[in-house]
Structure 1
């Protein structure tokens, strides 16, 4: 049912959930940390739909055979924590499902950080949670699993619209809705002086244009003026970053505060800067660039002179990939470094450093009905192969109807019509449906 519903990770890369749930694990973890500044989806879903999320999570626990299902949520969300604990008892799943509170630090929602915080286990370098007996799903994904049990596929997405705007809000919209329609809910009509971050302020990229469409992975849209510090940092080219990086003074702050280094992994960004700046030929050392999670903490918080260690990691990684050189860890087990607990980055300090303090406001769930004339449902909005259309131009489809299937013997996810109407395009990257 999960496979047929087309469920993918709702908060990250979009890995097909049915594949995750084929594994056998000791723990299943619910990622409700939502550590990216300004995003408000998961915390509100857990408050508004606690029963559905808990039931979906418990169903996932049974599928993977886990003895324990742990919900990771920041302790500052006291009301949500209280609601979840009460509903867990009321639904009589307390023997399996438990709420565990997280510190208000970034990046608490990183999958490997979450595994360590909730279980004390460290995922190996370049590894995935199942290697230490864990499966991780997102809050919205758990809600979608519950919906799948009711034969309801994924056709809608919850999105936070935030930033330097009159109206901050969280809304539910059909998958395939034009991004510009969602952006205009902010109260702005012209975006000539603004840039939009697709996702969170730390890891989300700047949208090159606003002509895109909502996918199952769209989580947040952060709207800031083009001259904002964060936009200027994110629009720095690789060539500009490499030129500025020559000023690296090897203070190693990027390494000492790197979340993956603090987990015990051998990722040392300051050494990668040394390799690039001095044209060193240490291929084995360079391979550790593959371990970078691109959390952006080094670039946007840690470096005292505003350099670009993450960009440097990506540069080295790309060079290695071009030569078909891959990373392979020889170390079987890892332990977090003893000073890790003293180097966690408080969210409030991060928000202040990013220049987002005045925009760190509620974005309440708002009942708004968006009725786009045409939706463009992307064939590839997940990890794996694009969906294969099972409809043709001219076909009439109903909301929730299957319009794209997983290719034979491939990793992928099904896609469904998010509105009722007539199929007007199936070529290229989208299946377009014009509303009745």
Structure 2
């Protein structure tokens, strides 16, 4: 099997949270392959620690992917503040004799440096077209943990483990490797909190992550972190507002200052998205959908809601309101632009992460979360069939079957976008539901 087949059968997906099947990214030719090592969400600590502890494996996986897509250059994008990690990477690049192929580019510490399209521009000066993807400008982008999983796949190891940061208002912030399918509540309790009646949990980073509606779920290959905060924290209150209520609030107070637009990362790249116009459309009940199509360019980074808007309104949810409306109508934005250039003020409007963390009220929780050898073992795991972009995996096992750790238990439907899933423990299939395959360990 070639690398693409190994990556496909190992079930490698984007480990940064999006969950796009990685083998699809390898089915192309590119000028550049880029390693997204920015980890721009506040408080999350997975990627930096993996790069320091699994340096060679990540570099080898990154190089292998780059060679496979025939990229002429491989570039690692990392924030300049991560000096020790950068030194380790540089040392091992030289030791592995990859210095003519892999280059490190340091970036300022701003949000959202890890946005795929922002990263492409920072590292290559190319601008991904509106509504487009990096390969349209000759780039393939991988997350650091994804590169590690590519290396593991090349050695015949499937994705059955996940690295997760558990942090926030907790006594024991940590980063931990757990089995896919582990109950989320067991992972949360590693933070030192046993009862969560007074807490809410953000699934992912504090900017883009939603609040978990309940804690009864299971770890998937897409999980990156859990931020635990008291329910009365203003970030939790802000994220708890539903779309209908947010729309009413937006109608009542928007003064059209346009800060949401002027600070928007995609607007600053030259895209046509203008959140203040979506707010205006809601305020004045404008029904001309042509002017609202640009809402589909929103990347949901949440900078407009959680930093830019001085009135505490909800521009991102205004974009989401029109996204949903346009989706129901079957309407898609089509760009008329063929060339893009950044806005003149972009260099001065990149938001420093420290300012963002203070605004979010998270500065006292901005601590290290060291990678810890957990003794957490799952006697029963529940493997989701929907832990990736595309069609859910179809089970290839039946109730009562015995399986080994790493064995394939689900495959994507024929000719569909999707990913393989695997047993993370050895045991017996005890239940197959619509979205879960449950395994009881031996």
TM-score normalised by L of structure 1: 0.99
* Distance in 2 (alpha carbons) for counterparts of 1:242 and 1:430: 35
1:113 maps to which of 118, 126, 150: 118
1:376 equivalent in alignment to 2:382: yes
Alpha carbons 1:123, 1:131 under 8 Å: kept = yes
Map 1:5-404 → 2, pairs under 5 A: 5-246=10-251, 247-404=253-410
Distance 2:226 2:107 in 1: 25
Return the alpha-carbon distance in structure 1 between the equivalents of residues 85 and 170 of structure 2. 26
Where 2:44 maps in the other structure, the secondary structure is coil
How far residue 406 of structure 1 moved from its aligned partner, in angstroms, is 2.0
SS at match of 2:157: coil
Q: Deviations over 1:261-280 (max 9, x none)?
A: 00000111111111111012
Q: CA shift at 1:12, angstroms?
A: 2.4
Point out the more displaced range, 83-92 or 328-337.
328-337
Native 8 Å contact 1:173 1:369 kept in 2:
no
* Mapped partners of 2:226, 2:291: distance in 1: 37
Structure 1: any 5+ residue segments left out of the alignment? Answer: none
How high is the TM-score relative to the length of structure 2?
Answer: 0.98
Specify the SS of the correspondent of 2:159.
coil
Contact kept, 8 Å, 1:199 with 1:222, in 2: the verdict is yes
Pick aligned residue for 1:428 from 431, 434, 437: 434
SS of the residue corresponding to residue 235 of structure 2 reads helix
Q: For 1:245 and 1:283, locate their aligned partners in 2 and report how far apart those are by CA, in whole Å.
A: 19
Matches of 1:294 and 1:427 in 2, distance apart? 31
2:3 corresponds in structure 1 to none
Question: SS in structure 2 opposite 1:36?
Answer: coil
- Tell me which of 407, 412, 415 is aligned to 1:406: 412
Work out whether residues 120 and 139 of structure 2, in 8 Å CA contact, stay in contact via their aligned partners in 1. Answer: yes
**1:282 Cα offset (Å):** 3.0
Deviation at 1:428, TM superposition (A): 1.5
Q: Is the 8 A contact 1:27 1:68 kept in 2?
A: yes
Displacement, 1:240? 1.6
SS in 1 for 2:162: strand
Tell me, in whole angstroms, the C-alpha distance in 2 between the residues paired with 1:17 and 1:237: 33
CA distance in 2, matches of 1:316, 1:205: 19
Instruction: Say if 2:36 and 2:114, in contact at 8 Å, map to a contact too.
Output: yes
CA contact (8 A) 2:17 2:204 kept: no
Is the partner of 2:58 in helix, strand or coil? helix
Point out where structure 2 has 5 or more consecutive residues left out of the alignment: 1-5
Distance 1:331 1:57 in 2: 33
Q: Aligned partners of 1:230, 1:61: CA distance in 2, in Å?
A: 39
Q: Tell me how large the CA RMSD over aligned residues is.
A: 0.7
Q: Distance in 1 between matches of 2:338 and 2:375?
A: 51
Structure 1 runs (4+) greater than 4 angstroms displaced: none
Secondary structure in 2 matching 1:425: strand
Q: Output the CA distance in 2 between the equivalents of 1:207 and 1:288.
A: 29
CA drift of 1:283 comes to 2.0
2-side partners of 1:54 and 1:369: how far apart? 28
Q: For 1:388 and 1:165, locate their aligned partners in 2 and report how far apart those are by CA, in whole Å.
A: 38
Report the CA distance between 1:71 and its aligned residue: 0.5
Q: Distance in 2 between matches of 1:87 and 1:319?
A: 50
How many residues are aligned here? 436
Instruction: Tell me the distance in 1 between the aligned counterparts of 2:339 and 2:213.
Output: 41
CA distance in 2, matches of 1:282, 1:82: 54
